[in-house]
Structure 1
Amino acid sequence: MRISAAVTEARGAAFTLGSLELDEPRPAEVVVRMVGSGICHTDLAVRDQKRHMPLPAVLGHEGAGVVEAVGDGVTHVGPGDHVVLTFNSCGGCRMCAQGRPAYCDLLDAHNFAGLRADGTTPLHRESGDVHGVFFGQSAFATHALANERNVVKVDPNVPLVPLAPLGCGFQTGAGAVLNSLRPSAGSTVVVFGAGSVGLCAVMAAVVAGCTTVVAVDVNGRRLELAREVGATHVHNGTESDTASFLRELTAGLGADFTVDTTGAASVLRQAVDVLNQGGVCGLIGGSAPGTEVSLDMRTLLLGRSVRGIIEGDSVPRLFIPRLVELYRQGRYPFDKLIGTYAFEDINQAVEDMEKGAVVKPVLTFHREPHAMPPGGR
């Protein structure tokens, strides 16, 4: 079928809209008519080849839409279902068998190769093939070809556009708190970085019943938004010493949990140093290969720990519907982070994202299917 897609032709190039031919679904594959697609920093990292994937390619990995067709053997979804597209996994390795698909042994092959497992791409044009199936979807297009494993059915009574970022960024921030750290009610959580992932971690800490939720950033507007979505305290790292602020706030004990969304070695060191004895730091932020951090070993010896977190330790088919229900109830208001752009304005959306003018841009495609707004919103 003919589709319109935003193609990344070369390293650092602007997205170019063009017409492509999309394969019909093979066994286990699903064709989704896109309604919304979030733009994530990982998309831009691949565009700039800081994270390798062969080009030309269609990127986009936070898609939401309506199923149009399914291949043989697909039973989880059918035509007309509302779905969120998320990361892909093999479904059969040791990590997938443990219910940890975000750590799939074949994660790169299923998300960054730009090809199906058999070495083919579903995207074609007269001048040659275009790499697709980015994160098992390539959602910067009017239609995406996904795999049944990375398609999550959602409540059709909730608008689809704001659900798109649940496929990656929003489930990452929420899952880091709710799935990975699992703070008990009354805990102290400090989130370093008030971007979309960090702000979702703040909201998740509120959901978990944490009574001291701190957002740390250098952007005053982002910190105001952090307060709006539930942070009890905010701190601008350019105005005073962060460690001193947190020591005073916690009566010298330190934080129970910290989350680093920045990927900066200096910030991770700080996020570990401000933990109390027994505290846990969750590392979400990506960094360049070879980036190293220096930690005080005695600090770790006193019960502190650091753990890396991918995709919020999520089992998407279980976790994403839970987040949708929290959103429907008005308890996880991630729509406050979103700015919408028409698909043809993708490059403007990217520019605004890179300038910090929007927290989470979401591209819109077709008319939104009928859906009721979330309760109380």
Structure 2
Amino acid sequence: MQMKAAVTHSKGEEFRIETIQLDEPKSGEVLIRVVASGICHTDMIARDQEYPVPLPAVLGHEGAGVVEKVGEGVTYVQPGDHVVLGFAHCGKCHYCLSGRPYVCERFFELNFLGNMEDGTKRHHCEEKGLSNFFGQSSFGTYTIVNERNLVKVDKDVDLALLGPLGCGIQTGSGTVINRLKPEAGSSIAVFGAGAVGLSAIMAANAIGCGTIIAVDVHANRLELAKELGATHVINARNVDPVEEIKKITNGGVNYAAETAGRPGVLRQAVDALTFCGVVAQIGAPPLGTDEKIDTNDLLLLNKTITGVVEGACVPRIFIPQLINLYKQGKFPMDKLVKFYRFDEINQAVADSHSGKTIKAIIKMD
């Protein structure tokens, strides 16, 4: 079938909306009419080739849509179902079978190396295959997704809003809820107040953290952080965030989340911890990035650094939980987003990069 997609042909170029061909779903696969897709920093990392996604490609990995057709053997969904598109995982390795699909042994292959699970492609332009991204390639009007990667959602919630639950929003909130698991009344610092960081702040507020500190360099994002539950905000352009955090907490925070993915910020997050503190590394710096850490500080203060991918969550369990929190008014994710038309995708990217927009969502219709 013919469809429209925002195609990336070469490193760093703007997206070009083109008419391409999409194959029929194979066994275990589902044809999705994409309603909307969030734009994530990871899409830009792939576009700029900081991660080696083969080009040309159809990027996008925060999609939400409606099931149009199912392939042979599909039982989880049927035509008409509303779904959020999740990350790709094999479903067969030790980690998938033990409830940790976010560390699937084939995670990098299935999400970044351009092919579907069977080693072939579904999107084509002039008979040339276009690389798939995160098992979904949601920057298009239709896509093919493995049944395993889908999450059915209620039809009483605006479907266009839900795509970012499949990556950025679940990453920030899941890191707090599933990995850090802060006790009620404990303190947490979140470095970076983009969509991931603000999702972490909303989660920390929802589960009862006592001191929630947002660190960023954009004043507008810090103002929104206060609205979403931050008890304190620090503009790192003006002050040393580590010193400020220690003043606020009388020595350091119990937990920290590094969401910026910028060199040097992880060190700040570690230095801001108190005894037995835990920091989660969420932000994705360029491959090969090194960070200097005071190892004696880790040893003597019993600090812990943990990496977290996709919020350490099982999407079919966690995404409905976030939607329920949203319905209850405890997770106001709608305050993060701005909607754009599909043909405004490059403006949406520019606004995201400048900090003007927190979470850009492109609507296909």
TM-score (norm 1): 0.95
Q: Which residue is equivalent to 1:40? A: 40
Report the alpha carbon displacement of residue 309 of structure 1 after superposing the two structures with TM.
0.4
Report the alpha carbon displacement of residue 361 of structure 1 after superposing the two structures with TM.
0.5
Aligned equivalents of 1:256 and 1:240: distance in 2?
Answer: 21
Aligned equivalents of 2:276 and 2:108: distance in 1?
Answer: 33
Which runs of 4 or more aligned residues in structure 1 lie more than 3 Å from their structure 2 counterparts after TM superposition? none
Q: Which residue is equivalent to 1:140? A: 139
2:45–2:51 CA contact under 8 A, matched in 1: yes
1:83 match: secondary structure: strand
Q: Which residue is equivalent to 1:271? A: 269
Aligned-residue sequence identity (percent) comes to 51
Aligned equivalents of 2:108 and 2:243: distance in 1?
Answer: 40
2:134 match: secondary structure: helix
Establish whether residue 189 from structure 1 lines up as the match of residue 191 from structure 2.
no
Aligned equivalents of 2:211 and 2:5: distance in 1?
Answer: 44
Report the alpha carbon displacement of residue 290 of structure 1 after superposing the two structures with TM.
2.0
Match of 1:182, as an amino acid?
K
Q: Which residue is equivalent to 1:172? A: 171
Establish whether residue 201 from structure 1 lines up as the match of residue 209 from structure 2.
no
Report the alpha carbon displacement of residue 22 of structure 1 after superposing the two structures with TM.
0.8
1:21 match: secondary structure: strand
Q: Which residue is equivalent to 2:333? A: 334
Tell me the C-alpha RMSD between the 2 structures: 1.1
Distance 1:304 1:82, change over 3 A: same
Q: Which residue is equivalent to 1:289? A: 287
Q: Which residue is equivalent to 2:126? A: 126
2:22–2:123 CA contact under 8 A, matched in 1: yes
2:51–2:287 CA contact under 8 A, matched in 1: no
Report the alpha carbon displacement of residue 223 of structure 1 after superposing the two structures with TM.
0.3
Shifted more, 57-66 versus 267-276: the winner is 267-276
Unaligned runs of 5+ in 1: 367-377
Match of 2:42, as an amino acid?
T
Q: Which residue is equivalent to 1:300? A: 298
2:283 match: secondary structure: coil
Unaligned runs of 5+ in 2: none
Report the alpha carbon displacement of residue 242 of structure 1 after superposing the two structures with TM.
1.6
Match of 1:78, as an amino acid?
Q
Establish whether residue 23 from structure 1 lines up as the match of residue 23 from structure 2.
yes
Q: Which residue is equivalent to 1:116? A: 116
Aligned equivalents of 1:251 and 1:117: distance in 2?
Answer: 51
Establish whether residue 212 from structure 1 lines up as the match of residue 204 from structure 2.
no
Aligned equivalents of 2:266 and 2:119: distance in 1?
Answer: 38
Report the alpha carbon displacement of residue 351 of structure 1 after superposing the two structures with TM.
1.3
Report the alpha carbon displacement of residue 127 of structure 1 after superposing the two structures with TM.
5.0
2:204 match: secondary structure: helix
Match of 1:136, as an amino acid?
G
Q: Which residue is equivalent to 2:79? A: 79
2:52 match: secondary structure: coil
Aligned equivalents of 1:84 and 1:15: distance in 2?
Answer: 23
Q: Deviations over 1:181-220 (max 9, x none)?
A: 0001101010001111000000000011001101011111
Match of 1:109, as an amino acid?
E
Q: Which residue is equivalent to 1:162? A: 161
Shifted more, 293-302 versus 45-54: the winner is 293-302
2:139 match: secondary structure: coil
Match of 1:328, as an amino acid?
K
Q: Which residue is equivalent to 2:354? A: 355
Report the alpha carbon displacement of residue 251 of structure 1 after superposing the two structures with TM.
1.9
Match of 1:286, as an amino acid?
A
Aligned equivalents of 1:313 and 1:29: distance in 2?
Answer: 25
Aligned equivalents of 1:62 and 1:35: distance in 2?
Answer: 11
Report the alpha carbon displacement of residue 129 of structure 1 after superposing the two structures with TM.
2.2
Shifted more, 195-204 versus 90-99: the winner is 90-99
1:362 match: secondary structure: strand
Aligned equivalents of 2:253 and 2:142: distance in 1?
Answer: 45
2:352 match: secondary structure: helix
Q: Which residue is equivalent to 2:253? A: 255
Aligned equivalents of 2:27 and 2:307: distance in 1?
Answer: 34
Match of 2:65, as an amino acid?
G
Report the alpha carbon displacement of residue 365 of structure 1 after superposing the two structures with TM.
1.4
Q: Which residue is equivalent to 1:101? A: 101
1:135 match: secondary structure: coil
Q: Which residue is equivalent to 1:375? A: none
Aligned equivalents of 2:189 and 2:78: distance in 1?
Answer: 42
Aligned equivalents of 2:291 and 2:104: distance in 1?
Answer: 25
